[in-house]
Every structure is written in C-alpha cells, then in structure tokens.
Amino acid sequence: MESDAENAKQANHTVERLRTLMQTSAFVGMPEIVKLIQGLSARAFSITIDELAEIIEQDVSVTARVIGSANTVGYNPTGTPVYTISQSIQIMGFERVRTLAMSMLLADGASAPSVTMDQRDAAAFALSAGLVAQNIMETRFGDSERAFICTSLRCYGRLLMTAFMNDEYREAQNLFDEMGEDPAYREVFGLTPIELSLALLQSTLMPKDILRSLQRVPPLLAHVPTNKPDDDLMVLADFSVKVCDLATDATSDASQFKLKINTLLRGYGDSYRFDRDKVQDAVRFAVARYNNFGEMYKLKRAPNNTMRLMIARAEEQDPPEDIELAYVASRHRAAERRRERKNVEDLAARKAEAIKTGRRIDAEILQESVKTLSVMVGVEDPDLEIVHKEAATALVTALTLDSGIILRRDNDGVFKYAYGTGQAAGGLRSAIEQIGPASRDVFGISISRAEDVLVSDVRRGTILRYVPVWLKLNSAIMSLLILPIIEGNVVSGLLFGMRCRGDPLTLDGATVQALRELRLRITSAWRKVPLPPPVVTDKKPVAENASA
C-alpha cells in the first residue's frame, strides 16, 4: 500500500510537471511535433475543418506535403488543383488529412537531426505502432484512420517523456532488465507512458470512446471480444504497441522475436484472429510506408534505432549488431551503477547501525567501503576530501575505533595531517610532530619497515614507551593501529586509528585483507591527484646579488 501511495504521488508530480511545462513559456521551446500532436489530439474527433486546417498550417513543411499529396493521382484522381489545406480536406476527406498530417509529423520527428536519438526513437515508435494498427484494421474492414490515431496517441506519453524528462526516461529504460518495463516506468515516473497519455488527454474534449482506447485492456477482454467497436479498437491499439515493443527489443534475435510474437498472440486469444503472418505483414507495411514518406517528401534522414530494428524484423533478420551491443553495454553499465549505489546505501545503513549498537562487522563494512572507493577513484579527478572521509570513517566504524586519521607524505618527506574523524582527531591535527622513518617510535617502525603495526593493548609490557609523547598527551589510548600507505616502494602516507575503551583490538584475516584493499584505493586517488611541486624561487641570495 505504501508503494502504491508513493507511485500515485510520483505520478501526480510527473503529470503536473508536464502540464506546467506545456502551459508556460517553456512551451515555446517545445519540439514542434509535440505541439502539433497536442493540437491534433486535443479535439481529435470533434474538431472542425477550419480548426484542423489552422493546426496543420502551423507547420509549413507539413502543410506543403499535405497539399502536395492532395495534388497526386492517388489522392486526387480528378486532377482538381489544390492550393490550401481546406481544399485538401475537401478532396481527400477529413479523416485522411488528419491521419496524413499526424504521420508526417511523426515521420519528421523520427528523422529530425536537431533532436536527441531518444526523441527520434519515440516518434518512430509512435508512427510504427500506428501504421501496424492501421494495416491490421484494414484487413478487418474497420476504421483504419481511427486505428492509426488512437494507437499513435497511446505513445503520446513516451513522446513527452523524451522531450521533457529524457534523463528520467533513460533511467527507466535501464531498469527494464531488472524489474520489467511497466514497473520500471512506475519506479521513475509513477506511471507508464500509456497511463501518462491518458492522464494528459482525458482533460481535453476528446470523446469517451477515444479515451477508452487509451486505457489498459482488461485480461478477459483480450480473450473474449464484446463485438463493440470501441473495445475492439482498444484491444487493437494495445496489441499494436506491444508488437512494436517486441520488434524494437534489440536483445531478441529473429527466432526469438517469432517466439515472443507467438506468445503475444496466445495472450489475445483466437477470437481476434491475429496471427503471425498478419503481424509480419503489418511490420512490413509500417516499414514500407515510412520509407515512402522519406522518398516522397525528401525527409532528412538522421538515423533512429526504432526503424532500423523494424526494418530488421520486416526482413526477418537479427537486429543490427551495433544496436544490440550498445543496448547490452548500456544496460550493463546501468546495472553496475545501480549495484554501486545500493552498496553505498547499504553501507551507510550498516555504519549507522554499527555506531548505534556497537556491533562489529569489520570485514563486511570495509569490503563495502572498498567498493564505494573504487567508484570514487574511478573518475578522472577524484575528490580527495571525500575519499579520505570514506576511508577514515570506514576504519573507525568497522573496527569500533574512537578516531581515524590519514597522514600524507609531502615533497619534503614530512608526514602531514590530511584528514581525521573521531573524538581525538581535532586535537591531534595541531599536536602531531614530525614523523618519519627515523622516528624512534611505533610510527618510525611502521614507515621504515613498510609494515602494519597493531598494538592491541598499550598498557602491557614496555610498548608504551614507543608511543610518541604528543599522542599520549592528547588521547587516552588502549589500542593503536598504524597502516602504511605505499606507492611503489615508498611509504607515501599513514592511516592510523585508536581505541580508547572496550576490548583490545584484534584483526582476523578477512579484515586484514580488506584493510589492504582500502589503502590501495587511497593510493589510486593520490596517483591521480599528486601533491603540488615545491615552490621554487628564481631570486638569488642577497650576498650573491651584492657581489654581482
């Protein structure tokens, strides 16, 4: 129930955001295809001839093509000269002009070089789905023009998502493999593209029977038709969109596509008389009509993946290899990013729990922090402050320490304070004295031998004398851990931590290995962000200047 409420809240946010964008000045920069489709669809079946003409005439190129079509033998066998959209409507008919205008808008959008590939793909998808529905409806002797419009409008939400919320649209697509298409859209937007189409268009003056064609098909209706034209149209529109979904799935080869179409057909029952041959013919029809638009109207042919995949399906070929590889690589990268984000979130939760309860989960926290650091240092210019904070915090949390500090060796060989966390870190920042391999204490031993030093209990034996005075004066130490950070054969820094109370510190094998990996990530970051070179002055000594 909580998930449903969150989805509803997110859906409302998505719908209101798009409505605002389409009603404000942002609408001026909106892709022409979305503007005009909104006008064509706002009163799709109650609009007058003059209103339709006015909408189409907003786009000069579409106007010219409609008029050009009205002057061809195919549309105008009498050869009556046509000069306006209104005359075109009289010659070709209201329904055909509206469908032709919508087709041209989508064909333009599918090949426009000025928009993103996702926008071209969305326009090509809407056009393909509409043409598939139109062809199937023609074989059933129904209203094929209406079938085209209704099916294309089911894709209206997808057009808007790519036009206004393209980053979120890609995020949803990258979740398909993990959770399925509809759940992925709901995760990101709160609703699917078809649900968005209905949400935005139901506030217009469109007839109820047209709005019904945008709704989700009840499972029973897909198997048992009611012989009502409106229901029939809704099922056909839903079916055509799903055919194009399968056709544009780059991970399915030719044989898999056929199997998936057969499975889809079984979901709609025999009574609708859809069969694979008709589907194949409809896909070929969509490709042929798209190519015809391009040749007849000389469309600019910026590529889109949707039509390349549709062409492969029409020819019963496997998807183009470059599209398939790009698709798989994109999903793989997205899955890796999601895993890393989840690791970061889980680690944060475990850290909070460990701090709250005092429970030790040494190796697990360190291993997760290593993964987090791998992401942080994987960029070209990592943020050292964040890297240091992650490493020091992981050390303190995993080992239940009171403080964790990172020292970095400067160009003069002096180990200086780089980052600290915990109760004693602030006081030690100014108290730390010069540390190096010549230091006669536990730090000097660790640096000179490039070895880890663990003092479980400084109160036992004579080890306390090897703890430097500046450290003893500023912290009541029980356990001390010093870990050299090594670049090549040189100790370039130290990561050390202290426990002041509780049980003496001990380390198991898994924790020791995780600590090694943690330091390697720090080393990787330091290599990418080296220390600035020492300041060199060109001024000569005063005495030398004087003698000169």
Q: Is the pLDDT of residue 128 over 90?
A: yes
Q: CA end-to-end span of the chain, whole Å?
A: 88
- Taking CB atoms within 8 Å and a gap of at least 24, the contacts of 347-354 are 347/372, 347/394, 351/393, 351/394, 351/397, 354/397, 354/398, 354/400
Angle of helix 2-23 versus helix 181-189 axis, rounded to 10: 70
pLDDT digits (tens, 9 = 90+) for 38-60: 555 544 455 566 766 766 666 66
Q: What is the pLDDT, as a whole number, of residue 5?
A: 76
Give the CA dihedral 72, 74, 75, 81, nearest 10 degrees: 30
Sign of the alpha-carbon torsion through 426, 429, 432, 435: positive
Residue 541: which pLDDT band, with cuts at 50, 70 and 90?
very low
Q: Is the pLDDT of residue 105 over 60?
A: yes
Burial 28-59 (b: 16+ CB within 10 A, else e): eeebbbbbbbbbbbbbbbebeeeebbebbbeb
Task: Name, of 6-15, 485-494, 503-512, the range with top average pLDDT.
Answer: 485-494
* Beta carbons of 526 and 408 less than 8 angstroms apart: yes
Range of lowest pLDDT (5-14, 202-211, 268-277, 327-336) = 202-211
Architecture field, domain 337-528: 2-Layer Sandwich (3.30)
Instruction: Indicate the domain borders of the chain.
Output: 2-319, 337-528
Residue 258: which pLDDT band, with cuts at 50, 70 and 90?
very high
Q: What percent of the chain has pLDDT over 70?
A: 79
Residues paired with residue 453 on neighbouring β-strands, in sequence order: 482
Task: Say what the pTM is.
Answer: 0.60
> Tokens standing for 547?
């003698």
Q: Calculate mean pLDDT across residues 455-472.
A: 80
Q: What is the pLDDT, as a whole number, of residue 115?
A: 79
Q: What is the pLDDT, as a whole number, of residue 29?
A: 39
Please tell me which residue, 502 or 490, carries the higher pLDDT value: 490
Query: Residue by residue, what is the 3-state secondary structure of 230-268?
Result: HHHHHHHHHHHHHHHHHHCCCCCCHHHHHHHHHHHHHHH
194 vs 199: CA distance, rounded Å:
9
Range of lowest pLDDT (202-206, 242-246, 479-483, 509-513) = 202-206
Question: How many residues belong to the chain?
Answer: 548
SS3 at position 524: helix
Q: Is the pLDDT of residue 97 over 80?
A: no
Q: What is the pLDDT, as a whole number, of residue 344?
A: 61
* Beta carbons of 491 and 485 less than 8 angstroms apart: yes
pLDDT digits (tens, 9 = 90+) for 385-404: 999 999 998 898 888 888 89
Q: What is the pLDDT, as a whole number, of residue 358?
A: 55
Residues paired with residue 406 on neighbouring β-strands, in sequence order: 419, 495
pLDDT digits (tens, 9 = 90+) for 326-377: 777 777 666 666 666 666 666 566 666 655 655 555 687 888 888 889 888 8
Q: Is the pLDDT of residue 542 over 50?
A: no
Architecture field, domain 2-319: Orthogonal Bundle (1.10)
Range of lowest pLDDT (135-139, 204-208, 273-277, 376-380) = 204-208
Burial 452-483 (b: 16+ CB within 10 A, else e): bbebbbbeeeeeeebbbebbeebbebbbbbbb
* Beta carbons of 246 and 280 less than 8 angstroms apart: no
pLDDT digits (tens, 9 = 90+) for 295-322: 776 666 677 899 999 999 999 999 988 8
Sign of the alpha-carbon torsion through 131, 150, 275, 141: negative
Q: What percent of the chain has pLDDT over 90?
A: 18
Q: Which of 265, 311, 312 is nearest to 287 (CA)?
A: 311
- Beta-carbon neighbour count of residue 74 at 10 Å? 7
Query: Residue by residue, what is the 3-state secondary structure of 328-369?
Result: HHHHHHHHHHHHHHHHHHHHHHHHHHHHHHCCCCHHHHHHHH
Residues paired with residue 482 on neighbouring β-strands, in sequence order: 453, 496
